[in-house]
Structure 1
Amino acid sequence: MEQEIGPDRPVLTSVDAAASMASLTVTSAVMSRRATRAFTDQPVALDVLKGVLDKARFAPSGCNFQPWEATVLTGAALGDLQSKMRQLPPQDPVEYVIQPADIGADYLARLAENGDRQYTAEGIARDDAAGRQASVMRNYCGFGAPVLLLCYFPRVMGPPQWSDIGMWLQTVMLLLREEGLDSCPQEFLSLYARVIKDHIGVSDETHIFFCGLAIGHADRTAPVNNFERPRVPLDQQVRFVGF
């Protein structure tokens, strides 16, 4: 769970980390990780990506199943996939339900608050439907990131293994911060799961696609990368008993 960010908890950026990579703490990696929605075109070195993903193998997983699998794209291979997705409608039926139909009002309020802050940062008015749609459409290009990690796993895996994959992805994202890199997890791409699996040569019969992870260097000047992210106070989510 991420810590609440407020006036007494300033958001750390990769600039802070770059000042002294050797002293980067877990806390600063957690606090500076965010869903980056504007990247520069600066390339990401293959050896850095391999190093991050090699270390991420030690993320926890129940029964040591290590269920995660991934393909990492850049260059023409990435551009070709993004072009295919733009030309096709989302798949039907969906790969999985992203937002449960019976989700409670409290959770919807959290979604709305974060969305309002994001669109305000982008200069998009509440009644600007076209502007909001254009913002969503930027998912197709990974918000300009030069690298896209595609995460999938065998269909035989159950809910506990979905949790394992989330822990692996968080490990990857924090290790990216250690390298001065930024990311954006994209469940949106599950709307094109079959197109993606066909593009990378993964069987739709045997595997379910979970999400993409855009990877690159954040554009620090973009307002969409700087709005304060709302978080629920700790005492509303966690109870301490017997202390």
Structure 2
Amino acid sequence: MFTDDIERTHELTELESIMMSRFANRFYLNREVDPAIVKGILNSARYAATGANVQPWRVHVTAGNAKERLINAISAAHEASPGDHSSEYRYLPETLPEPFASRLREFGTVFFGSLGIGREDVAARAANTARNCRFFDAPVALIFTIDRRLEKGSWLDLGMFIQNVMLAAKARGLDTCTQEFLSRYHAVIRANLPLGPEELVVCTMAMGYGDPDWAKRRPQMPKLPVEGFASFHGF
């Protein structure tokens, strides 16, 4: 098969190994991250591709007391009235078509199964969701925003910037987890951080030193082989 040919003939570069080892880590050690490391990650990430050099990204980085105040505010809002909060954009359509719906269900089975949480255990699932509000106890929390006046093309650029952040962090021994979930609490975030009125909260990110025990036990999410998503013409 085509994938087998790749594995036989293609020796992974260091960058590719980092790309393939990265995953959304939701368990972190109680270990501070040197702010110089975070600045170094962002310094590298700013070289992300961006159409016409627009550079549409903004990121608010929090740690220490600033992060704790944000966590407390978001957690209080989530506990009191989660239904009153919603994102300023739609991440997925209301009805997810196939094959994407099946992949989403598979994710839930694999992820919650790895935590020992059953499909019908509503309380345990809710408790796990609430961990988002604490940024999974990671020492650094980042909030990514984009100017709401921009169009979809700039959102592509923002995604490439965020991917650069994740890869640069992994290269420095840090793990990350992006969180679309917390975009629904944009008003709470805005009340606790100096966001401009034009800034739309796209997602947040937990960053820190991942728990090595969890890294050994965490499941590998299934990915399609190359022939499952790519077609080649003229080769």
**TM-score scaled by structure 2?**
0.89
Instruction: Look up the match of 1:170.
Output: 163
Q: Cα gap change, 1:138/1:214 in structure 2, threshold over 3 Å: closer, same or farther?
A: same
- Say which is worse superposed, 175-184 or 217-226, in terms of deviation: 217-226
Aligned counterparts, 1:47-196, within 5 A: 47-88=36-77, 89-90=81-82, 91-196=84-189
Q: Does 1:46 align with 2:46?
A: no
Q: How many residues in Structure 1 have an aligned counterpart in Structure 2?
A: 222
Query: Equivalent pairs: percent with the same residue?
Result: 33
Structure 2 CA distance, aligned partners of 1:242 and 1:174?
32
Q: Cα gap change, 1:224/1:104 in structure 2, threshold over 3 Å: closer, same or farther?
A: farther
CA contact (8 A) 2:178 2:204 kept: yes
- Say which is worse superposed, 30-39 or 125-134, in terms of deviation: 125-134
Amino acid at match of 1:234: V
Structure 2 CA distance, aligned partners of 1:181 and 1:81?
22
- Say which is worse superposed, 194-203 or 166-175, in terms of deviation: 194-203
If each structure's helix is expressed as a fraction of its own residues, which one has the higher value?
Answer: 2
Q: Secondary structure in 2 aligned to 1:70?
A: strand
Amino acid at match of 1:112: R
Select 2:234's aligned residue among 221, 225, 242: 242
Instruction: Look up the match of 2:10.
Output: none
Q: Which runs of 5+ in 2 are unaligned?
A: 8-12
Amino acid at match of 1:27: E
> Which ranges of 4 or more aligned residues in structure 1 deviate by more than 2 Å?
89-94, 222-225
Q: Which runs of 5+ in 1 are unaligned?
A: 9-23
CA contact (8 A) 2:85 2:185 kept: no
Q: CA deviation at 1:92?
A: 4.2
Amino acid at match of 1:33: R
**TM-score scaled by structure 1?**
0.86
1:98-133 deviations in Å (ceiling 9; x for gaps): 221132031111111111111111111122111111
